[in-house]
Structure 1
Amino acid sequence: MKAPDDPGCVFCDIVRGEAEASVPYADDHVMVVMDIGAVTPGHLLVIPRVHAVGLEDLDEETGAHIWRVGHRMGRALRRSGLRCEGVNVFLADGEAALQEVFHFHLHVFPRFADDGFRIDANWGTRARALLDAEAAAVRSGLDLLPPGREPLHSDE
Protein backbone atom coordinates (compact mmCIF):
# COMPACT_ATOMS: atom_id res chain seq x y z
CA MET A 1 0.00 0.00 0.00
CA LYS A 2 1.31 3.41 -0.99
CA ALA A 3 2.47 5.65 1.87
CA PRO A 4 0.23 8.61 2.58
CA ASP A 5 1.41 11.60 0.59
CA ASP A 6 -0.22 14.70 2.05
CA PRO A 7 2.32 16.37 4.35
CA GLY A 8 -0.32 18.72 5.84
CA CYS A 9 -2.76 15.94 6.78
CA VAL A 10 -2.92 14.92 10.45
CA PHE A 11 -4.16 11.42 9.52
CA CYS A 12 -1.26 10.96 7.12
CA ASP A 13 1.04 12.03 9.96
CA ILE A 14 -0.55 9.38 12.19
CA VAL A 15 -0.22 6.67 9.53
CA ARG A 16 3.45 7.57 9.01
CA GLY A 17 4.04 7.41 12.78
CA GLU A 18 4.83 11.13 12.96
CA ALA A 19 1.88 12.00 15.23
CA GLU A 20 0.59 10.31 18.36
CA ALA A 21 -2.41 8.01 18.23
CA SER A 22 -3.99 5.31 20.35
CA VAL A 23 -4.41 2.39 17.97
CA PRO A 24 -6.66 -0.57 18.85
CA TYR A 25 -6.31 -2.14 15.37
CA ALA A 26 -4.18 -1.82 12.24
CA ASP A 27 -3.54 -3.83 9.09
CA ASP A 28 -1.85 -3.23 5.75
CA HIS A 29 -4.72 -1.06 4.48
CA VAL A 30 -6.21 0.79 7.48
CA MET A 31 -5.53 2.07 10.95
CA VAL A 32 -8.18 2.39 13.62
CA VAL A 33 -7.48 5.20 16.07
CA MET A 34 -9.27 6.59 19.08
CA ASP A 35 -10.89 9.96 18.23
CA ILE A 36 -9.29 12.72 20.31
CA GLY A 37 -12.57 14.68 19.98
CA ALA A 38 -14.77 11.74 20.93
CA VAL A 39 -18.56 11.90 20.94
CA THR A 40 -18.52 9.15 23.59
CA PRO A 41 -15.75 7.10 25.22
CA GLY A 42 -14.64 4.48 22.69
CA HIS A 43 -15.18 6.69 19.60
CA LEU A 44 -13.08 5.15 16.82
CA LEU A 45 -11.92 6.39 13.42
CA VAL A 46 -11.16 3.90 10.65
CA ILE A 47 -8.69 5.60 8.29
CA PRO A 48 -7.10 4.26 5.12
CA ARG A 49 -3.32 4.22 4.97
CA VAL A 50 -3.50 5.91 1.57
CA HIS A 51 -4.53 9.57 1.43
CA ALA A 52 -7.98 10.06 -0.05
CA VAL A 53 -10.01 13.19 0.63
CA GLY A 54 -13.42 11.58 0.19
CA LEU A 55 -15.46 8.93 -1.59
CA GLU A 56 -14.49 10.22 -5.04
CA ASP A 57 -10.80 9.69 -4.24
CA LEU A 58 -11.09 6.27 -2.61
CA ASP A 59 -11.06 3.04 -4.57
CA GLU A 60 -14.03 0.78 -3.91
CA GLU A 61 -11.91 -2.14 -2.68
CA THR A 62 -10.33 0.00 0.04
CA GLY A 63 -13.73 1.51 0.82
CA ALA A 64 -15.25 -1.95 1.27
CA HIS A 65 -12.38 -2.94 3.56
CA ILE A 66 -12.93 0.19 5.66
CA TRP A 67 -16.60 -0.71 6.11
CA ARG A 68 -15.73 -4.33 6.97
CA VAL A 69 -13.28 -3.13 9.62
CA GLY A 70 -15.85 -0.59 10.86
CA HIS A 71 -18.41 -3.39 11.21
CA ARG A 72 -15.93 -5.45 13.21
CA MET A 73 -15.04 -2.46 15.41
CA GLY A 74 -18.73 -1.88 16.16
CA ARG A 75 -19.05 -5.48 17.27
CA ALA A 76 -15.89 -5.09 19.36
CA LEU A 77 -17.34 -2.01 21.07
CA ARG A 78 -20.37 -4.06 22.12
CA ARG A 79 -18.04 -6.55 23.83
CA SER A 80 -15.48 -4.05 25.14
CA GLY A 81 -16.87 -3.29 28.58
CA LEU A 82 -17.27 0.37 27.58
CA ARG A 83 -20.77 1.79 27.94
CA CYS A 84 -22.39 0.76 24.68
CA GLU A 85 -26.14 0.35 24.25
CA GLY A 86 -25.91 0.95 20.50
CA VAL A 87 -23.39 1.87 17.80
CA ASN A 88 -23.32 4.59 15.15
CA VAL A 89 -21.28 4.18 11.99
CA PHE A 90 -20.96 7.62 10.42
CA LEU A 91 -19.31 9.01 7.31
CA ALA A 92 -18.99 12.72 6.59
CA ASP A 93 -18.01 13.15 2.92
CA GLY A 94 -17.44 16.81 2.10
CA GLU A 95 -17.73 20.08 3.95
CA ALA A 96 -21.52 20.23 3.50
CA ALA A 97 -21.71 16.81 5.20
CA LEU A 98 -19.68 18.18 8.16
CA GLN A 99 -16.35 16.58 7.21
CA GLU A 100 -13.66 18.37 9.23
CA VAL A 101 -10.50 16.40 8.41
CA PHE A 102 -10.11 15.97 4.67
CA HIS A 103 -8.67 12.46 4.74
CA PHE A 104 -11.41 9.86 4.33
CA HIS A 105 -12.39 8.31 7.66
CA LEU A 106 -15.26 6.32 9.09
CA HIS A 107 -16.53 7.11 12.60
CA VAL A 108 -17.63 4.17 14.76
CA PHE A 109 -18.82 5.10 18.22
CA PRO A 110 -20.77 3.67 21.12
CA ARG A 111 -24.16 5.14 21.94
CA PHE A 112 -26.15 5.14 25.13
CA ALA A 113 -29.20 6.93 26.52
CA ASP A 114 -28.62 10.64 27.13
CA ASP A 115 -25.12 10.62 25.60
CA GLY A 116 -25.78 14.05 24.05
CA PHE A 117 -25.19 13.15 20.37
CA ARG A 118 -27.96 14.33 18.05
CA ILE A 119 -28.59 14.52 14.33
CA ASP A 120 -31.23 17.13 13.61
CA ALA A 121 -33.05 17.53 10.34
CA ASN A 122 -36.41 18.45 8.88
CA TRP A 123 -37.65 14.87 8.70
CA GLY A 124 -40.66 14.36 6.49
CA THR A 125 -42.32 11.92 4.13
CA ARG A 126 -41.46 12.41 0.45
CA ALA A 127 -44.05 11.96 -2.31
CA ARG A 128 -43.60 8.78 -4.38
CA ALA A 129 -43.19 10.80 -7.60
CA LEU A 130 -40.25 12.68 -6.05
CA LEU A 131 -38.71 9.45 -4.79
CA ASP A 132 -39.07 7.88 -8.25
CA ALA A 133 -37.43 10.91 -9.90
CA GLU A 134 -34.58 10.83 -7.37
CA ALA A 135 -34.12 7.08 -7.93
CA ALA A 136 -33.83 7.76 -11.68
CA ALA A 137 -31.21 10.46 -11.00
CA VAL A 138 -29.18 8.04 -8.86
CA ARG A 139 -29.41 5.36 -11.60
CA SER A 140 -28.08 7.87 -14.12
CA GLY A 141 -25.22 8.62 -11.73
CA LEU A 142 -24.45 4.90 -11.50
CA ASP A 143 -24.27 4.76 -15.29
CA LEU A 144 -21.47 7.35 -15.17
CA LEU A 145 -19.32 5.26 -12.81
CA PRO A 146 -16.78 2.75 -14.05
CA PRO A 147 -17.88 -0.86 -13.56
CA GLY A 148 -17.45 -2.17 -10.03
CA ARG A 149 -16.01 -5.50 -8.98
CA GLU A 150 -19.43 -7.11 -8.74
CA PRO A 151 -22.64 -6.26 -10.61
CA LEU A 152 -25.22 -4.23 -8.75
CA HIS A 153 -28.72 -5.69 -8.68
CA SER A 154 -31.76 -3.42 -8.88
CA ASP A 155 -35.51 -3.80 -8.59
CA GLU A 156 -36.14 -2.15 -11.99
Structure 2
Amino acid sequence: MDELDKDCLFCKIIRGEVPSYTVFENDDVKAFLDLSQVNPGHTLMVPKKHLTNLFDYTAEDAEKYLKYIPAIANAIKKFDPKITGMNVTTNNGESASQVVMHSHIHFIPRFEGDGLKIATRNNEDKYTPDDYQKIADQIKAQF
Protein backbone atom coordinates (compact mmCIF):
# COMPACT_ATOMS: atom_id res chain seq x y z
CA MET A 1 0.00 0.00 0.00
CA ASP A 2 3.04 2.25 -0.23
CA GLU A 3 1.89 3.26 -3.71
CA LEU A 4 -1.13 5.12 -2.30
CA ASP A 5 -1.55 8.84 -1.64
CA LYS A 6 -2.33 9.84 1.96
CA ASP A 7 -4.91 12.51 1.01
CA CYS A 8 -6.69 10.84 -1.95
CA LEU A 9 -10.31 9.80 -1.28
CA PHE A 10 -10.01 6.58 -3.28
CA CYS A 11 -6.69 5.70 -1.61
CA LYS A 12 -8.47 6.14 1.73
CA ILE A 13 -11.24 3.81 0.53
CA ILE A 14 -8.61 1.24 -0.54
CA ARG A 15 -6.97 1.44 2.91
CA GLY A 16 -10.38 1.09 4.63
CA GLU A 17 -10.25 4.56 6.18
CA VAL A 18 -13.45 5.56 4.37
CA PRO A 19 -16.30 3.04 4.17
CA SER A 20 -17.45 1.71 0.81
CA TYR A 21 -19.83 -0.88 -0.59
CA THR A 22 -17.30 -3.25 -2.14
CA VAL A 23 -18.41 -5.59 -4.93
CA PHE A 24 -14.97 -6.97 -5.88
CA GLU A 25 -11.47 -6.71 -4.47
CA ASN A 26 -8.13 -8.40 -4.96
CA ASP A 27 -4.47 -7.37 -4.72
CA ASP A 28 -4.73 -5.23 -7.89
CA VAL A 29 -8.11 -3.43 -7.86
CA LYS A 30 -11.09 -2.55 -5.75
CA ALA A 31 -14.59 -2.13 -7.19
CA PHE A 32 -17.29 -0.46 -5.14
CA LEU A 33 -20.66 1.20 -5.61
CA ASP A 34 -20.60 4.84 -6.67
CA LEU A 35 -22.65 6.73 -4.09
CA SER A 36 -24.34 8.70 -6.89
CA GLN A 37 -25.92 5.48 -8.27
CA VAL A 38 -26.76 7.02 -11.67
CA ASN A 39 -28.57 3.70 -12.14
CA PRO A 40 -28.73 0.79 -9.66
CA GLY A 41 -25.43 -1.07 -9.73
CA HIS A 42 -23.31 1.95 -10.80
CA THR A 43 -19.84 0.78 -9.78
CA LEU A 44 -16.34 2.25 -9.78
CA MET A 45 -13.18 0.21 -10.28
CA VAL A 46 -9.91 1.71 -9.00
CA PRO A 47 -6.34 0.42 -9.18
CA LYS A 48 -4.67 -0.19 -5.85
CA LYS A 49 -1.90 2.13 -6.96
CA HIS A 50 -2.35 5.88 -7.04
CA LEU A 51 -2.52 6.79 -10.71
CA THR A 52 -4.16 10.12 -11.51
CA ASN A 53 -5.81 8.91 -14.72
CA LEU A 54 -5.14 6.84 -17.84
CA PHE A 55 -2.48 9.32 -18.97
CA ASP A 56 -0.33 8.06 -16.06
CA TYR A 57 -0.60 4.37 -17.01
CA THR A 58 2.31 2.41 -18.36
CA ALA A 59 1.61 -0.60 -20.57
CA GLU A 60 2.28 -2.75 -17.50
CA ASP A 61 -0.27 -0.77 -15.44
CA ALA A 62 -2.90 -1.23 -18.15
CA GLU A 63 -2.21 -4.97 -18.33
CA LYS A 64 -2.37 -5.29 -14.54
CA TYR A 65 -5.47 -3.21 -13.81
CA LEU A 66 -7.70 -2.98 -16.87
CA LYS A 67 -7.98 -6.74 -17.38
CA TYR A 68 -10.72 -6.81 -14.74
CA ILE A 69 -13.16 -4.68 -16.75
CA PRO A 70 -15.00 -7.60 -18.44
CA ALA A 71 -15.44 -9.60 -15.24
CA ILE A 72 -16.79 -6.63 -13.29
CA ALA A 73 -19.10 -5.59 -16.14
CA ASN A 74 -20.48 -9.11 -16.43
CA ALA A 75 -21.03 -9.48 -12.68
CA ILE A 76 -23.00 -6.23 -12.64
CA LYS A 77 -25.06 -7.31 -15.65
CA LYS A 78 -25.87 -10.66 -14.01
CA PHE A 79 -27.09 -9.01 -10.80
CA ASP A 80 -30.21 -7.66 -12.53
CA PRO A 81 -31.79 -9.38 -15.54
CA LYS A 82 -33.38 -6.05 -16.53
CA ILE A 83 -29.95 -4.61 -17.42
CA THR A 84 -29.83 -4.35 -21.22
CA GLY A 85 -26.57 -2.45 -21.65
CA MET A 86 -23.79 -0.65 -19.84
CA ASN A 87 -21.73 2.48 -20.23
CA VAL A 88 -18.11 1.79 -19.27
CA THR A 89 -16.39 5.15 -19.06
CA THR A 90 -13.50 7.04 -17.56
CA ASN A 91 -12.99 10.78 -17.22
CA ASN A 92 -9.35 11.80 -17.66
CA GLY A 93 -8.57 15.28 -16.33
CA GLU A 94 -10.68 18.11 -15.00
CA SER A 95 -11.72 19.23 -18.49
CA ALA A 96 -13.21 15.74 -18.98
CA SER A 97 -15.19 16.04 -15.71
CA GLN A 98 -12.82 13.97 -13.56
CA VAL A 99 -13.62 14.87 -9.96
CA VAL A 100 -11.49 12.46 -7.90
CA MET A 101 -7.93 12.53 -9.18
CA HIS A 102 -7.37 8.79 -8.87
CA SER A 103 -7.92 6.70 -11.97
CA HIS A 104 -11.31 5.02 -11.97
CA ILE A 105 -13.61 3.28 -14.40
CA HIS A 106 -17.38 3.82 -14.19
CA PHE A 107 -19.71 0.90 -14.89
CA ILE A 108 -23.18 2.37 -15.39
CA PRO A 109 -25.88 -0.25 -15.97
CA ARG A 110 -28.49 0.69 -18.56
CA PHE A 111 -32.14 -0.26 -18.66
CA GLU A 112 -34.62 0.07 -21.52
CA GLY A 113 -36.27 3.49 -21.19
CA ASP A 114 -34.06 4.66 -18.30
CA GLY A 115 -33.93 8.15 -19.85
CA LEU A 116 -30.22 8.60 -19.17
CA LYS A 117 -28.49 10.62 -21.88
CA ILE A 118 -24.75 10.58 -22.42
CA ALA A 119 -24.05 13.88 -24.16
CA THR A 120 -22.09 13.81 -27.40
CA ARG A 121 -22.30 15.79 -30.59
CA ASN A 122 -21.80 15.09 -34.26
CA ASN A 123 -19.42 17.52 -35.99
CA GLU A 124 -19.07 15.47 -39.15
CA ASP A 125 -20.25 18.39 -41.30
CA LYS A 126 -17.23 20.45 -40.14
CA TYR A 127 -14.56 18.05 -41.46
CA THR A 128 -13.34 17.18 -44.93
CA PRO A 129 -11.53 13.95 -45.80
CA ASP A 130 -8.28 15.99 -45.74
CA ASP A 131 -9.07 17.25 -42.22
CA TYR A 132 -9.64 13.69 -40.99
CA GLN A 133 -6.41 12.48 -42.61
CA LYS A 134 -4.39 15.34 -41.11
CA ILE A 135 -5.68 14.59 -37.60
CA ALA A 136 -5.11 10.84 -38.04
CA ASP A 137 -1.57 11.41 -39.29
CA GLN A 138 -0.73 13.74 -36.39
CA ILE A 139 -1.96 11.19 -33.84
CA LYS A 140 -0.23 8.32 -35.64
CA ALA A 141 3.06 10.22 -35.42
CA GLN A 142 2.87 10.12 -31.60
CA PHE A 143 3.29 6.32 -31.38
Match of 1:152 in 2: none
**What TM-score, normalized by structure 1, do the two folds share?**
0.82
Which amino acid counterpart does residue 129 of structure 1 have in structure 2? D
Identity of counterpart residues, as a percentage?
28
Instruction: Report the alpha carbon displacement of residue 17 of structure 1 after superposing the two structures with TM.
Output: 1.0
- Higher mean C-alpha deviation, range 87-96 or range 117-126: 117-126
The root-mean-square deviation of aligned C-alpha atoms, in Å, is: 1.7
2:65 counterpart SS class = helix
- Tell me how far apart the structure 2 counterparts of residues 107 and 21 of structure 1 sit (CA, whole Å): 15
Q: Does 1:105 align with 2:123?
A: no
1:123 counterpart SS class = coil
Correspondence 1:1-156 to 2 at 5 A: 2-81=1-80, 83-125=82-124, 126-142=127-143
Q: Which runs of 5+ in 2 are unaligned?
A: none
Instruction: Report the alpha carbon displacement of residue 4 of structure 1 after superposing the two structures with TM.
Output: 4.0
CA pair 13-88 structure 1, distance change in 2 beyond 3 A: same
1:5 counterpart SS class = coil
Which amino acid counterpart does residue 15 of structure 2 have in structure 1? R
CA pair 38-64 structure 1, distance change in 2 beyond 3 A: farther
1:108 counterpart SS class = strand
What does the per-residue CA deviation read over 1:92-130, in whole Å, with 9 as the maximum and x for residues that have no partner? 001111111110001112101232321223313242211
Instruction: Report the alpha carbon displacement of residue 26 of structure 1 after superposing the two structures with TM.
Output: 1.0
**What TM-score, normalized by structure 2, do the two folds share?**
0.88
- Tell me how far apart the structure 2 counterparts of residues 26 and 18 of structure 1 sit (CA, whole Å): 16
- Higher mean C-alpha deviation, range 26-35 or range 67-76: 67-76
Which amino acid counterpart does residue 16 of structure 2 have in structure 1? G
Match of 1:150 in 2: none
Instruction: Report the alpha carbon displacement of residue 83 of structure 1 after superposing the two structures with TM.
Output: 3.4
Q: Which runs of 5+ in 1 are unaligned?
A: 143-156
- Tell me how far apart the structure 1 counterparts of residues 2 and 116 of structure 2 sit (CA, whole Å): 34
Instruction: Report the alpha carbon displacement of residue 20 of structure 1 after superposing the two structures with TM.
Output: 0.3
- Tell me how far apart the structure 2 counterparts of residues 45 and 82 of structure 1 sit (CA, whole Å): 20
